[in-house]
């Protein structure tokens, strides 16, 4: 997890926009990556990222230094992304179908990196928002189970059960992809 110096946080709490910009620059990469992986497209990820930093700006004065700023920011990011996904799912069902995967990955013009990227998108899309959150934090951000539990405010065994179900779902999807590639 990234660390932000306490004096920068204090200055930002007092309304120093330059200090807030320093926090933004330090945490932007993590926030935008988690937002992108959670919501699945750039446009929505930009919206979520902006929303996250506006929430940080509005509520930074209430930050008590009881946990690290990064933990707090990760929590805001994941919650904002989950809320966004839930709102979007009410409007439309945007989870791709399994059939689409074989069509996309069988194209010979796709480079290996593009193939991997497609596979990641489909694997994450096969998970519910809560499972996606633990997989992104563990598999992409490298947080420990303890850090994930702190970030999401859930028991460590809930982290385990979500990771387990998410991996079972991803394995099932990967098996389907492999079968469709063989056909």
Q: Distance of CA 67 to CAs 3, 73, 74, 86, 147, Å?
A: 11, 10, 12, 27, 11
Among 9, 12, 19, 135, binds another protein (CB under 8 A): 135
Residue 66 as a binder of another protein (CB under 8 A): the answer is no
- Contact between residue 39 and residue 85 where contact means Cβ atoms under 8 Å apart: yes
Q: How many residues at the interface with another protein, by CB under 8 A?
A: 39
Which residues have C-beta within 8 Å of that of residue 87, sequence separation ≥ 6? none
The Cα 156–Cα 146 span in angstroms is 6
Which residues have C-beta within 8 Å of that of residue 138, sequence separation ≥ 6? 145, 148, 163
Among 2, 5, 6, 17, binds another protein (CB under 8 A): 17
Among 99, 100, 107, 117, binds another protein (CB under 8 A): 117
Residue 86 as a binder of another protein (CB under 8 A): the answer is no
Among 6, 14, 21, 155, binds another protein (CB under 8 A): 21
Catalog residues that contact another protein under the rule CB under 8 A: 17, 21, 24-25, 28-29, 32-33, 36-37, 42, 45-46, 49-50, 53-54, 57, 113, 116-117, 119-120, 123, 135, 138-140, 142, 144-145, 160, 163-164, 167-168, 170-171, 174
């Amino acid at each position: 997890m990234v660390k932000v110096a306490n004096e920068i946080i204090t200055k930002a709490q007092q309304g120093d926009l330059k200090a807030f910009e320093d926090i933004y620059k330090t945490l932007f990469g993590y926030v935008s990556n988690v937002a992108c992986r959670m919501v699945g497209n750039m446009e929505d990820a930009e919206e979520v990222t902006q929303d996250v930093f506006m929430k940080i700006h509005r509520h930074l004065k209430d930050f008590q230094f009881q946990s690290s700023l990064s933990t707090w920011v990760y929590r805001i990011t994941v919650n904002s992304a989950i809320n966004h996904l839930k709102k979007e799912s009410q409007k439309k069902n945007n989870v791709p179908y399994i059939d689409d995967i074989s069509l996309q990955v069988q194209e010979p013009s796709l480079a290996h990196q593009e193939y991997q990227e497609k596979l990641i998108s489909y694997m994450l899309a096969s998970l519910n928002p809560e499972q996606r959150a633990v997989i992104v934090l563990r598999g992409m951000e490298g947080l420990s189970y303890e850090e994930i539990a702190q970030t999401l405010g859930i028991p460590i065994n809930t982290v385990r059960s979500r990771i387990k179900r998410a991996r079972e779902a991803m394995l099932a999807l990967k098996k389907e992809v492999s079968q469709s590639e063989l056909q």
